[in-house]
Structure 1
Amino acid sequence: METEVFAEVFDALADTPMEAANMKARADLLAALVDRVKSWNLPQEVAAERLAITRPRLNDLLRGKLGKFSLDALVNLAAAAGLTLEFKIGEAA
């Protein structure tokens, strides 16, 4: 039995390098959003209103349900949370 080694967990989960890159970007954004929302120390209802989403949607975010959020949706939520995005582009390994 051969063991495959991956640089990141997303490489193991994804079928293509493009899908892995998308998952990594979404995971990074989701983690930043969770940190921001938790830093507010607000009830979920109020935090959801601040992000202009429903409380169940906020609950999905806080529980890290990555598959429920597109990259576009997470970018919009980051802007609503007062976060700025910086992209670093480099050569693939």
Structure 2
Amino acid sequence: MSNEQTFGSVWEALADTPQEAAHLQARSGLMIELNENIKAWPGTDTEKARRLGITKPRFSNLKAGRVDLFSLDALVDLAASAGLVVRVQLAAA
């Protein structure tokens, strides 16, 4: 008998609930888009952090993709600070 489980996404595998998986997926998507945009900015990481209004260590966590350290609200705030517009799109599961 196999105990193998299958999941629809990596977030479902990591999360304890569907709600937690949805939060992880949304935060991850925001973080990826933020990082893609920030890469194009000129300057050092310290200058980029200052532009976002966060500390250099916080910027390093963002850059490293530390989803667990950022709330959805914090990422929306950072996106706004970066001059990005956040839109929410829903789809049936």
TM-score under structure 2 normalisation? 0.93
- Look up the match of 1:33: 34
Q: Which moved more, 1:40-49 or 1:19-28?
A: 40-49
Q: Deviations over 1:42-72 (max 9, x none)?
A: 2011101110000110001001111110000
- Look up the match of 1:7: 8
- Look up the match of 2:69: 68
| Residues in 2 aligned to 1:26 and 1:61: alpha-carbon distance in whole angstroms | 11
| Residues in 2 aligned to 1:44 and 1:91: alpha-carbon distance in whole angstroms | 39
| Residues in 1 aligned to 2:82 and 2:74: alpha-carbon distance in whole angstroms | 12
Q: CA RMSD in A?
A: 0.9
Q: Which runs of 5+ in 1 are unaligned?
A: none
Q: Which moved more, 1:69-78 or 1:37-46?
A: 37-46
- Look up the match of 1:83: 84
Q: Deviations over 1:15-41 (max 9, x none)?
A: 000000000000000111111111113
SS in 1 for 2:40: helix
Runs of 4+ in 1 over 2 A off after TM superposition: none
| Residue 7 of structure 1, CA deviation | 1.0
Identity of aligned residues (%): 43
Q: Which runs of 5+ in 2 are unaligned?
A: none
Q: Which moved more, 1:12-21 or 1:81-90?
A: 81-90
Aligned length: 92
Q: What amino acid does structure 1 have at the position aligned with 2:62?
A: L
